[in-house]
Amino acid sequence: MSHPLYGKLRPVTPLASVLLAQNPSPMTLEGTNTWVLRAPGVEECVVVDPGEADEEHLGRVAAHGPVALVLLTHRHHDHAGGARRFAELTGAPVRALDPSLVLGSEALGDGDVVAVAGVEVRVVGTPGHTSDSLSFLLDGPDSETAVLTGDTILGRGTTVIAHPDGALRPYLDSLRRLAELLPGTAVLPGHGPELPDAPAAAAAYLAHREQRLEQVRGALGRLGPDATARQVVELVYADVDRALWPAAEWSVRAQLDYLRASA
């Protein structure tokens, strides 16, 4: 699969540019977005989610350095798999919520503020897709704000709840938190195109999740309360590409846990 943006650094906001990794799949869309953050006129940069252990992509990202710091939105390999190698290439420390991913620095936590490369990044805990998912709020010039959401909100479609590490209740709480951001806060996602308004995107995701929950409730009414996740997927996701059914099954397991815990 070819894409005109592979290998090209594309400016998106005054502080953020994106380099699209060439790892397309049904789960990653066109590929993983590696974000490069720096203030105008500043030489060093912050890299968010260097991506998989792909030497060509990591080398391209490193060429836009010097890299002062690497931030990870979560542990999945398409975002963090190349972090250790990227640290070797650039000498930059790596920070994440999961201590096992941290290199040469300290773990991140909700509410932390990271000031590097002329930018100020506020860490927002947004668990749900995974237990260690973070978003990064970026204040730009002229009151422009953006939030890097990893896989919590995608640029197209909806994300999977990666059960059992991911869970629906914290994910809904995370979406509600993002829905409270200032209107006009841009979404800089881990996959897909940027979106113009984080509160609107989060509200749409919440509506979608409620719709899916209603469908799962309906499926349990037809199949019985002990129906398996696979049985529910076959009924609720009948119109979805079967290549996505394994991922849908993760989300359904999370929804079943949520509904059964609430019963």
Q: Report the catalytic residues.
A: 78
Q: How far is CA 214 from CA 71, 211, 229, 258, in A?
A: 36, 5, 15, 12
Cis peptide before 199 (omega within 30 of 0): no
- The Cα 190–Cα 194 span in angstroms is 9
The secondary element (H helix, E strand) that includes residue 202 is: helix 198-223
Nearest CA among 94, 144, 97, 99 for reference residue 119: 144
Q: Is 87 helix (H, G, I), strand (E, B) or coil?
A: helix
